């Protein structure tokens, strides 16, 4: 019995130590997060200008075989305005990935359905080049 | 973001199909330009044929095509693979029968 009590007391200690440590570790990630975003914004100097992104996005979309280049503006919606389907949209987003040397995760790529969103996404992407 | 137009709603299954298509196109980037072009046109026409011919409510069959596509994609990712010979779209009855 004495041994069992001793073991139980021993087990309880680390658990209490963990609950104390939890808030402290959250603080640490908050600090880490803010410093990371600060270092990312300082990269802005050698980042692409908006004009350059617009121009290159439009030229990729214009070169797509099914698209009439004359109809492409920074505001066009791939499916509503250019008459493309979801497979075409995948092809365009993939072509943009190659143009800007990015890899766009599926979750983001599914949302990009217009020149406007493509331009915004690429312009805000720290790795676009 | 702008939000000038309402976002199109994709079903989970549509997203899976598009993700698979993306996977194929990504895999072709590692091939030689000739192989890449050839594989891309096969993959593209197969997906378009599926989009035209398969009833969008035929979930079982689409799931089967997704599984088969994932296997073919795994094959394509191997550096030795330079083409897709087994890519043939077959009606549901036949394809189910040929699988053990």
In a domain, B21, yes or no: yes
A42 to chain B nearest CA, in Å?
Answer: 23
Task: Return d(Cα A68, Cα A66) in angstroms, integer.
Answer: 7
B11 to chain A nearest CA, in Å?
Answer: 11
In a domain, B51, yes or no: yes
Catalytic, A81? Answer no
- Does B1 have pLDDT greater than 90? no
Q: Mean per-residue pLDDT for A53-64?
A: 96
In a domain, B84, yes or no: no
- Does A68 have pLDDT greater than 90? yes
How does residue A8 score in pLDDT terms, banded at 50, 70 and 90? low
In a domain, B63, yes or no: yes
**Which distant-in-sequence residues (6+ apart) come within 8 Å of A47 by Cβ?**
A126, A128
Residue-range definition of the domain harbouring residue B49: 12-79
Q: Which of B10, B47, B51 sits opposite A110 (nearest CB)?
A: B10
- Does B28 have pLDDT greater than 80? yes
pLDDT in tens, A70-85: 999 999 999 999 999 9
Please report, rounded to a whole number, the percentage of residues in chain A having pLDDT higher than 70: 64
Whether the complex's predicted ipTM is more than 0.90 is answered with no
In a domain, B45, yes or no: yes
Mean of all residue pLDDT scores within chain A = 79
Q: Which residue of B has its CA nearest to A79?
A: B8
Task: Return d(Cα B8, Cα B11) in angstroms, integer.
Answer: 10
Question: What are the angstrom distances between the C-alpha of B21 and each of A28, A40, A84, A106, B30?
Answer: 40, 32, 16, 11, 15
Q: Which of B1, B8, B22 sits opposite A90 (nearest CB)?
A: B22
In a domain, B96, yes or no: no
Please state the pTM of the whole predicted model: 0.70
pLDDT in tens, A81-108: 999 999 999 999 999 999 999 999 999 9
CB A67 within 8 A of CB A61: yes
In a domain, B99, yes or no: no
Task: Return d(Cα B63, Cα B61) in angstroms, integer.
Answer: 5
Please tell me chain A's helix, strand, coil percentages from 3-state DSSP, rounded to the nearest 5: 70, 0, 30
In a domain, B48, yes or no: yes
Please report, rounded to a whole number, the percentage of residues in chain B having pLDDT higher than 90: 64
Q: What domain count does chain B have?
A: 1
């Amino acid at each position: 019995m004495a041994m069992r009590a001793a073991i139980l007391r021993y087990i309880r200690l680390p658990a209490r130590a963990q609950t104390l440590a939890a808030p402290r570790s959250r603080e640490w990630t908050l600090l880490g997060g803010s410093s990371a975003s600060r270092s990312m914004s300082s990269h802005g100097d050698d980042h692409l200008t908006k004009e350059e992104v617009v121009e290159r996005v439009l030229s990729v979309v214009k070169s797509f075989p099914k698209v009439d280049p004359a109809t492409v503006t920074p505001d066009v919606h791939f499916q509503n305005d250019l008459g493309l389907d979801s497979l075409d949209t995948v092809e365009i987003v993939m072509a943009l990935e190659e143009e800007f040397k990015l890899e766009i995760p599926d979750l983001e790529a599914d949302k990009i359905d217009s020149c406007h969103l493509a331009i915004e996404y690429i312009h805000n992407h720290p790795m676009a080049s | 973001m702008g939000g000038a137009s309402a976002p199109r709603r994709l079903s989970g299954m549509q997203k899976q199909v598009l993700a698979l298509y993306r996977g194929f196109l990504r895999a072709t980037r590692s091939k030689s330009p000739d192989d890449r072009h050839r594989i891309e046109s096969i993959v593209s026409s197969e997906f378009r044929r599926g989009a035209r011919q398969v009833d969008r409510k035929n979930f079982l069959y689409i799931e089967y095509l997704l599984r088969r596509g994932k296997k073919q994609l795994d094959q394509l990712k191997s550096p030795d693979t330079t083409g897709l010979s087994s890519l043939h779209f077959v009606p549901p009855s036949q394809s189910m029968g040929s699988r053990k």
